[in-house]
Structure 1
């Protein structure tokens, strides 16, 4: 943010013109997006201590891609026109087009940071900021954008101003009377002493000063009256605007609720009515080979059809062993069962207390939270499940056997198939899980030591609270290491909740050195207002082998009432570094995944050049990669937990004092004591808010004194730069398992 009058050179725009607006700084910068696309040109706007960026200038009217507050942002200047902005776990890697342009941006950013910090330090800190935030963010629990208390305060201020103005008017009348009497007395005194020339001059000067004093008092009272009139005018204007916004909000709530009810009725009617598409599908299938499968066109890639190769059908058993050397078996579930029977594992619990039947109106709580981040909404435990987000993150290891098998594959392409199946399997536990995990406290950890049965050790830590971010590290004795740094971005949209994980999962195999990287798709919880809650996964996953440059593109198709495809469908293609397709993947994220080796491909369809043609892949018979475990008995009364999930919160000795198992509100909820759990949850969250305010105050003091700022540092993880793409992420620094062995937890904070 630039102060008015500050000399600041403008930035070039796309048309070659320059932008120079008082108090703002705008221009093009190159921003690092990901390791596939590299630096991309983006339009940046610096205003009021906030740095925002957009894809183009036209997007400023409707779509902001991201915003950083300069008050809490660390500015790091690099070589060759590079600079890095870091705040709250997010980092912007930027590059200017020239050295001069880079220096202009650095000056503007540093000036904005200094101004914003100065304003924050000299404001009425906690109370002022909290009140302003509550008004601007439409805090839940208020009747509208401004609460009843705020309106009462405004009206009281106006009444006080009016009372003070009356006092001033009274004083003005008294001053006028006394001033006139004083002037008359001075006039009489002047006539009486007219013979004395020196005394007359002094009396005239005193008389003029008295007149000026009375004029000044009148001007002051008139100015106060004008101020009050203006305040009353603005108050009436804001009251009209507030009333209009309140009516619009009420109308929007009624519209959303009505649409939700209509949507629910339409869904119910569609499910009860006969499906004409299903009948048409049966007719179509009668004309096709029973082994033919049709896939939807994937975004940003050619559409394709897979056809099982006829000449291999009669040799299915023999070809199954030849197509994939290294152990992609035809019946994975049999292999899993046989491996289980050969190991003696520690007995784990197989059930938890049944979930109490508490009814609660979700709409009454959520209607005031539309558009807000889900992690910032105070929610009772009635909407939770008795697991933390760290434990849910650990559930990604439910099917770690897939990685054990992948470690022994003879080729990287076969290994990619199993890695892709593993990435899909992590969503199978969510199909019935509509409960919200507990938001971990800053510094909270969760360990899962399964060396004796699964061969791995897992550790998670909450490394940031706003935005919520968790780091995860898994070391397996069976040939692989997995780590991830995930930030959750969640929004409530009225009828549904969207959860968008940000970050990447890394997987490295020890023997081959193959390093796989991929992200996560969007999870959506539907029917928030009325109807039965259900979850869908949608989006694309791009898995890249950094060593060989092999890729796998997976598409999670969103559920559609009118689609012929099976719900929760996942399709994918495995390609080598030359973009040649080798395997087709298909299945559903809640049940199983299969793969088929491609033996031939050709362009399909007919028509002119304007007709989009599909690529036809001829494949060997499909092989089962992964099959979901059945849920335990009585799972519907135990939050639909899987066998692994039932053991995650099982009490265990010798864990760190920050472990999620020791969290009291979560433990009480699991035991069915929800009222007590809500009380403890409120206590823990208030303690965390207090700690955060203390850290912010210490940071402000350090900035004001010009000292280095010691931001929050996780205990077991540290931020490092990725050598392949320059992105910063949290990786395991070591020491946890050694501390557990010696039972030295002295460095752990007390958070529960």
Structure 2
């Protein structure tokens, strides 16, 4: 036993000093449901994880749940009561005494601090690009950690072999001694060795899990580093090729007329060469001031200037925090009681209900897990590609689990751009194309083999106890290499406990994803939450089928955490289906992880529960259009915590928008009068132009009939990025 204890893997990481062991165990009462109330459970705190069991004996075989403390929020309640919040779930716990409660809270807070320290040591969720020099010590530390974990696995493997062989010998001896006087002692020996073998096996399992966790935690950073090196190699190959062509052209030109090249060295460059650009932006280096620039020769290819990699390869560091949300009290019911059954987009609301982001930015936030589409673009199988597309469609809801505040309703003509070419290879433009009903159009173009676009109209209703938000419209996704074109829509979002209680969000409904090219389909079901259901909360299930309706993959998971897929190896018709239909029973292989939610940033509960991407969406940017959401004053002031000033500007902007709308309606009425319409048509404009058609045309999108679905939709007409390059925003309306 001593040999085993000495060889067990250490929970600490290299370079991390753990103040004390964070192991604690004991009985607590856990809230289960309204029928059973609080139930007694055995809790074990170890290695930053709080696990619970029905009895102590269950520790050997059945764990009822595990709470990672690194991302958990600990809140102390009334006497003997405290609450843990993790992964969108609240765990209400009670101790038998105030002293015991305090001991548990202290142990949990210490374990959370240690776990957070370990997470920071191996954190790879930053947006910064991996620099080869600065990452070298980090990667060496990771490799050292993995090597240590591998040694732990080897040690545990040897012990398992040793104790397993001893257990086998004891079993053989026990078989020979059956019925003899020595059998009791032999049975005791066998039990001891079986216990030792079980402990060693558990240590092996834990060591394997540690190894997998460390490897997975750094997988994203390594993927970024690999992609970075690939891009650098590709850029270098292109540069060398162009330099070779330039060298040949110069040699040929010199052979044809050597006299014109004697006596001085001239620097050739195109008018838009890198050196010209640097001097235009104010580079005062002597080299640029003394250089002469000539146009490239007509019969030679364009000359290039090799860019300084220290400048070109620098990636911008994005912000990782915003000012904490002020603690303003507001009687929600006093405002909402007169809104029952109405469309919330037509009701003026103070910024107290908002988060400092526009609906256009929330729509763009769906791209947080764009790497799923990058992986899908590399798939050879359309069915495997469908699994990743389905995971992407689910991942867009993971950021909403704590986001009970509403985004700002965009002004008509408001835009939002997100340029992430350097970091993730895509850029997107979004525009508010209609005000009543509110509608936005989005177009995303990726250098990694895909394009995505959508036209979404929001319909929201207040039902007294809850608010329902129904997105209408389709999302389109096209992969350039395969030509596969996917179409799907969104499910209904519901905000509960409007009158009393804590606000919480649920997603429910069905999504059908159709590959219009191959006719493959995926039907996803978002199960509504129920207090009386034994199913996992926020559950999502789905089946990927080919054009004949044959199932190939089963998808399972939750919209707030992860999605997995299992390959179907056999299927049969069962019974028990609804409405007399037969149920299909699938046999599958072990599930594989498709998508896992990123942990929220530190202090997220005070920053509107924004994800790492959401924290950067409203970060000021240079050279954006004057209609960009980042420039909206009320939203800007709210983010800074100046809510009273934000409300003043919000009322001003909304009143100005109403006046502009009346002006367009008056112009439309005048147009009908000029056309000598009969009197009975004079009231028609109110109907005709109630859909924001009153003389307004979006700047970057236009209305078309989609060839795939036949729907009337807004699609990108082009020109935005070209206008940004020229800094020509003369066509943009003045809306702020």
TM, length-normalised to structure 1: 0.56
Change (3 A) 1:509 1:332: farther
Shift of 1:334: 5.2
Match of 2:706 in 1: 722
**Counterpart of 1:471 in 2: which secondary structure?**
strand
Q: Matched residues in 2 for 1:606 and 1:269: separation?
A: 30
1:633 to 584, 602, 621: 602
Shift of 1:333: 6.1
**Counterpart of 1:543 in 2: which secondary structure?**
strand
Q: What 5-or-longer segments of structure 1 have no aligned partner?
A: 1-265, 291-329
Q: Matched residues in 1 for 2:218 and 2:317: separation?
A: 22
Match of 2:724 in 1: 740
Q: Matched residues in 1 for 2:386 and 2:466: separation?
A: 34
1:548-563 to 2 correspondence within 5 Å?
548-563=518-533
Shift of 1:432: 0.1
**Counterpart of 1:530 in 2: which secondary structure?**
coil
What per-residue deviation string (whole Å, max 9, x for no partner) do you get for residues 8-58 of structure 1? xxxxxxxxxxxxxxxxxxxxxxxxxxxxxxxxxxxxxxxxxxxxxxxxxxx
Match of 1:670 in 2: 639
Change (3 A) 1:593 1:738: same
Aligned residues: 441
Match of 2:392 in 1: 422
**Counterpart of 1:737 in 2: which secondary structure?**
helix
**Counterpart of 1:603 in 2: which secondary structure?**
strand
Q: Matched residues in 2 for 1:460 and 1:350: separation?
A: 23
Q: What 5-or-longer segments of structure 2 have no aligned partner?
A: 1-30, 42-52, 63-213, 229-313, 678-692
Match of 1:490 in 2: 460
TM, length-normalised to structure 2: 0.57
Q: Do the aligned residues in 1 keep the contact of 2:664 with 2:694 (CA within 8 Å)?
A: no
Shift of 1:332: 7.1
**Counterpart of 2:424 in 1: which secondary structure?**
coil
Shift of 1:466: 0.2
**1:594 aligned to 2:578?**
no
Shift of 1:610: 9.5
Change (3 A) 1:551 1:634: same
1:573 to 543, 546, 549: 543
Match of 2:28 in 1: none
1:270-289 to 2 correspondence within 5 Å?
272-274=37-39
Change (3 A) 1:267 1:461: farther
Match of 2:322 in 1: 352
Q: Matched residues in 2 for 1:270 and 1:384: separation?
A: 36
What per-residue deviation string (whole Å, max 9, x for no partner) do you get for residues 322-356 of structure 1? xxxxxxxx997654232234546420000000000
Shift of 1:541: 0.2
Q: Do the aligned residues in 2 keep the contact of 1:333 with 1:627 (CA within 8 Å)?
A: no
Match of 2:211 in 1: none
- Asked which structure has the greater CA Rg, the reply is 1
**Counterpart of 2:661 in 1: which secondary structure?**
helix
Match of 1:688 in 2: 657
2:584 to 615, 618, 624: 615
Change (3 A) 1:506 1:271: farther
**1:407 aligned to 2:377?**
yes
Shift of 1:704: 1.7
Change (3 A) 1:591 1:275: farther
Match of 1:531 in 2: 501
Q: Do the aligned residues in 2 keep the contact of 1:721 with 1:729 (CA within 8 Å)?
A: yes
**1:697 aligned to 2:581?**
no
Shift of 1:615: 2.1
Q: Do the aligned residues in 1 keep the contact of 2:33 with 2:531 (CA within 8 Å)?
A: no
**Counterpart of 1:679 in 2: which secondary structure?**
helix
Q: Do the aligned residues in 2 keep the contact of 1:403 with 1:422 (CA within 8 Å)?
A: yes
Match of 1:459 in 2: 429
Change (3 A) 1:353 1:644: same
Greater shift in the superposed pair: 703-712 or 726-735: 703-712
1:648 to 617, 624, 633: 617
Q: Matched residues in 2 for 1:371 and 1:339: separation?
A: 49
**Counterpart of 2:427 in 1: which secondary structure?**
strand
Q: Matched residues in 2 for 1:461 and 1:568: separation?
A: 31
Q: Matched residues in 2 for 1:268 and 1:611: separation?
A: 33
Q: Matched residues in 1 for 2:595 and 2:410: separation?
A: 31
Shift of 1:602: 1.1
1:141-220 to 2 correspondence within 5 Å?
none
Change (3 A) 1:268 1:414: closer
Q: Matched residues in 1 for 2:576 and 2:619: separation?
A: 60
What is the RMSD of the two structures over their aligned residues, measured on CA atoms?
2.8
Q: Matched residues in 1 for 2:579 and 2:696: separation?
A: 57
Q: Do the aligned residues in 2 keep the contact of 1:542 with 1:554 (CA within 8 Å)?
A: yes
Change (3 A) 1:695 1:333: farther
Q: Do the aligned residues in 2 keep the contact of 1:569 with 1:589 (CA within 8 Å)?
A: yes
Match of 1:751 in 2: 735
Q: Matched residues in 1 for 2:217 and 2:725: separation?
A: 36
What per-residue deviation string (whole Å, max 9, x for no partner) do you get for residues 512-548 of structure 1? 0000000000000000011000000000000000000
Shift of 1:267: 11
